[in-house]
Structure 1
Amino acid sequence: MAAELAVADGLVVVACCKEKRVTAAPLPALDLYEGWVVPLIRDRVTERSGLRARVLVLSALYGLLTADAPVSTYEQPMTEERARVLAGRAPSVLRRHLARFPSSEVLLLMEAPYAEVLGTVPVTRTRLITDPMDRHSDIHSVLDSWSWP
């Protein structure tokens, strides 16, 4: 069996979280969130704009965002109504992002209601981790296999 090739073109989509920096001015989405596994992802791509472009954040308020999209502190849980609204927009945002940054693998770090918002992800391989707080080693393993720092 041949060794699996590194995926330098992977994409991470991480869900937002309640823990956010409190700020008067907008921050890049990946820098706003302080909880969940966002800090783990942020630490892996810090100061690497090429990799930051391969990270999306799914916000219950703003929808699917690039890592550097400016956002302000907010409070919006993912309700069924918000999920329905976002499900009407997020898949097309994801497709446009994939057209700009083609990826063969996507790592989704989110609970099921967030993943449902994205619908079917149009890539060769999608990995969904719904309990990322308990699976840091699995996340690192995927990112390591992609040769991410």
Structure 2
Amino acid sequence: MTTPTAGPPAVARPTASMDGLVVIGCSRRKRSGTTPVPALELYQGWCFPQLRERIADRPEYRSSTLILSARHGLLGADDPITPYHQVLTPERALSQRDLVSTALVGHLERSPAREVLLLLEPLYFQMLGLPPLPVVHLVSDPVTYWPQVTRVLDGWGWTA
């Protein structure tokens, strides 16, 4: 009598939050309506369509995606919000910096990340206070440089 052999041992893949964290600045173009929707679904401009296409059905990636909002500060991809209009001025960026920094540190304590990919225009970058991290990727024009963004995400194993 032969005993069935087991296949190769399963290799535990790290969760997305262990690999990386994406922080993306909000966009002026938003979905219309009055019903709250997940933040990632609200924003329609900039590189949100490309990012949504990549992570839409992947909760582990969505939980490692934060949105920096001119009005609301740091949001999770699935935080429900309604459309709004808020221009990010240098004064507003400075006034929100401590709140945003505290929220980011809290997120990183709950979900550590070895790398952070920042998809932020310069004024949004000023709004964000970064704790020390081994690797930070900054792409200030992710629409033009989307191939560089995908290389980082591919390196983390964030495949569509």
TM-score for both structures, normalised by structure 2: 0.86
1:31 aligns with 41
Runs of 4+ in structure 1 over 4 Å off: none
C-alpha contact (below 8 Å) 1:7/1:146 kept by paired residues: no
Quote how far apart the aligned CAs of 1:46 are. 1.1
TM-score scaled by structure 1? 0.92
Separation (CA, whole Å) in 2 of partners of 1:121 and 1:58: 16
1:111–1:7 distance in 2 versus 1, CA, 3 Å: farther
Deviation of the 1:7 alpha carbon:
8.9
Distance (Å, rounded) in 1 between the aligned partners of 2:77 and 2:95: 21
2:121 to 97, 111, 115: 111
Gap regions ≥5 residues in structure 2: 1-13
Instruction: Map residues 95-134 of structure 1 onto 2, 5 A cutoff.
Output: 95-134=105-144
Q: What's the counterpart of residue 82 of structure 2? A: 72
* Alignment partner, residue 16 of structure 1: 26
Identical residues among aligned pairs (%): 42
Please tell me the root mean square deviation across aligned C-alpha atoms, in Å. 1.4
Aligned length: 144
Give matches, 1:134-145, under 5 Å. 134-145=144-155
Contact 2:23 2:117 in 1 (8 A): yes
Q: CA–CA distance in 1 between the matches of 2:80 and 2:131? A: 25
